[in-house]
Structure 1
């Protein structure tokens, strides 16, 4: 019997795996995601195939979540899939939200419902220095207030999605002392998340600039050759051939 989960291919421990058909096993996480299994299937799990488990997970969490492969995980707050340029934010009632990197519009780090620092695709990061070392965002946060406790901390993420334009990434949800380890961990995760989001936005800005530059350059070149055509220097065939070349057709 293999120790690898037949669904996610991760290693499993004896206490946190379930035996299924064909001598295979599933990890506890994958089993919990398979919410559409019938009572009969759960009772006779050893007769259920990996494909049946996988199908149940797909129905439960959706194809996008099923195909999401995290390359970077920040605590329990957010996951990033750099290969597919997507991010996963855990939602309520086990419903995970997946957004494309292209969907990011802006974000704000909030502590006790007040903006600490912000950034995004359409503006530069302000408020806190995101790339100034380990204490960058921490300094920005703790420098604003000295009340000893934090009731909530999270990132308000605005995305290009009409049905869900605002998503919250939570790091602190209960009253937490600012000198506690829990607060320090939350600060560190918030800093890492903000830095990652800004890097994504910077990369998106670079790609937009390249595309815009290419488009204007191509249009200008075609315009110049059109003028040569109008002046009789180029034939129609020569112009058409050059236009196809410039457009990559």
Structure 2
């Protein structure tokens, strides 16, 4: 039997009231699934790859942030070591592996600043994959005009200081290397000079070692430990986190935890 049209709205209202009485507030409708383009963008940014077709079709997230959170917690993301990500990007975009300072620079970005895989790849592609790099001058050197050339030189100096000394250049250092580069010096020569500085070879690694010892063992480093980790930090490209992880594997740390 068909119901009169005038009764249908009333019956729908009664059914809704009965549901609310029995189960509380009705469940809101599910939001629409993410568009395929958004899924592809987030997968590329977090995992450095495009999603498979089934990952787009059955994507469980309904917002961009939800999908980012899911991928950041995935086994695949946790299995991506910074070293693997950085090596792959340099070989893909530059046809070579990263130098120790480049590895150190991007490891810090991934570990300390939580850069995504996509952001690492984008930055390597933008900064290092052009021919100027192979001449030891770095990208952006040949900008037109004196102002563009000065800006490019300043960026080159700032990048070298950030990579090697992990700080911005002071005014004296900026002026010194600006003159050096304007007179024909190369970026590789400037970096070699910074690597020979006492700050790079002694002060910076010693400060990292001291902080690591204080964080893990709650004491100052002894002379032997200071020398040991200085070599690893300078010659092997270790970070402060690497030193802390190594200290946590020591007998002193295990005995201290008992």
- In the superposition, the TM-score normalised over structure 1's length comes to 0.27
Report which of the two has the higher share of strand: 1
Report which of the two has the higher share of helix: 2
> Which of the pair has more CA radius of gyration?
2
